[in-house]
Amino acid sequence: MLLWRAHGLGNDYLVLESGEKLAPALVRALCDRHRGIGSDGVLEPVAAAEGAEYGLRIHNPDGSEAEKSGNGLRIYAHWLVQERAAPAEFSVWTLGGVVRCVVRGTNVDVNMGRARVWGPEVLAGNVCWRVDLGNPHAVCFAEPIDWRQQGAAIEAAVSGRTNVQFVSVAGGAARALIWERGAGETQASGSSACAVAAVCVTRGLLSSPVTVTMAGGDLIVAVGDTLVLSGPVAPVGRFSVDDDWLRAHAGP
């Protein structure tokens, strides 16, 4: 099995280049940062659909699947250009819909589509704005001391679970703490940045483009009829998985 690794502001993904079918147990083992390679998810190239030029399935560290991932898509797009000689602009099918990607060197833009914003709602005792980007989000304008515990509680409070962001606005930018569905705390998240930007613009707190500052750094989101996410991708390297390790972990 060959895997290619990169990160977007510390939010890291493995791209499956060749090897075993990605059963949930194998995904969990690969993402284990102590006994595996370690990752916030695994990206599996698949056949394109719905008129797109490429296809992608996104596996969370707990073995579940995500409909979309802004940073995952940016990493996949960079890999397609750098490792598979794709053109600089193309479309990618995901479970959450088709997105358009533009690769400019190490910077990658992804059009994440339309955002549906509603709320506020109370989830697990927290006031949140809900966002549908093809994947679900709950944006909370608070930073509780126990935000990780609150993130997990809000994630579980929504049927099918949700991504969670704790946000403060100051100095013309949004600061966000990220709790991702199926992954937990992450240093950055592209779709989360989009959800934060969409709510901030909808509420009149910020104007487009929105800078979203996370633990790993800044992403820029242009908010209009659709959301365009921009930021860097940093390749790490290629990993060949040991055959004995693979046989021990390639379960259901």
Contact predicate 71/188, CB 8 Å:
yes
Mean pLDDT of 240-246: 94
Quick one: 154 and 175 in the same domain?
yes
Answer whether the bond into residue 24 is a cis peptide, omega within 30°.
no
CATH number at residue 218: 3.10.310.10
Q: Are residues 24 and 76 in the same domain?
A: yes
Residue 160 tokens, joined: 């099918």
Report the sign of the C-alpha dihedral through residues 43, 46, 50, 51, in that order: positive
For the chain, helix, strand, coil in percent to 5 are: 20, 45, 35
**Alpha carbons within 13 A on the beta-carbon side of 150:** 21
Which tens digit of pLDDT belongs to each residue from 106-149?
999 999 999 999 999 999 999 999 999 999 999 999 888 999 99
Q: Are residues 153 and 240 in the same domain?
A: no
pLDDT (tens digit, 9 = 90+) per residue, 12-33? 999 999 987 899 999 999 999 9
In this predicted structure, the answer to whether residue 50 has a pLDDT above a threshold of 80 is yes
Is residue 124 located within the same domain as residue 104?
Answer: no
Residue 153 belongs to what H/E stretch? helix 147-157
Q: Are residues 195 and 166 in the same domain?
A: yes
Distance CA 36, CA 124 (A): 33
Q: Give the per-residue pLDDT at 252.
A: 64
Assess whether 74 and 164 both reside in one domain. Answer: no
User: Are 80 and 144 in the same domain?
Assistant: no
Mark whether 122 and 215 lie in a shared domain: yes
Mark whether 208 and 243 lie in a shared domain.
Answer: no
Mean per-residue pLDDT, 222-228: 97
Q: Do 54 and 20 share a structural domain?
A: yes
Inform me whether the pLDDT recorded for 70 exceeds 90. yes
- pLDDT category at 55 given cuts 50, 70, 90 is very high
193 and 134 inside one domain: yes
Say how far apart CA 200 and CA 210 lie, in whole Å: 8
Q: Residue 142 and residue 166: Cα distance in Å, rounded?
A: 6
Using CA atoms, how far residue 25 sits from 31, 64, 157, 250, in Å, is: 10, 10, 25, 7
169: domain range? Answer: 115-224
- Which pair of structure tokens corresponds to residue 152? 């997990």
Q: What was the pLDDT predicted at 108?
A: 98
| 217 in the same domain as 121 | yes
Compute the C-alpha angle 116/213/107, nearest 5°: 85
Looking at the structure of the chain, the number of domains it has is 2
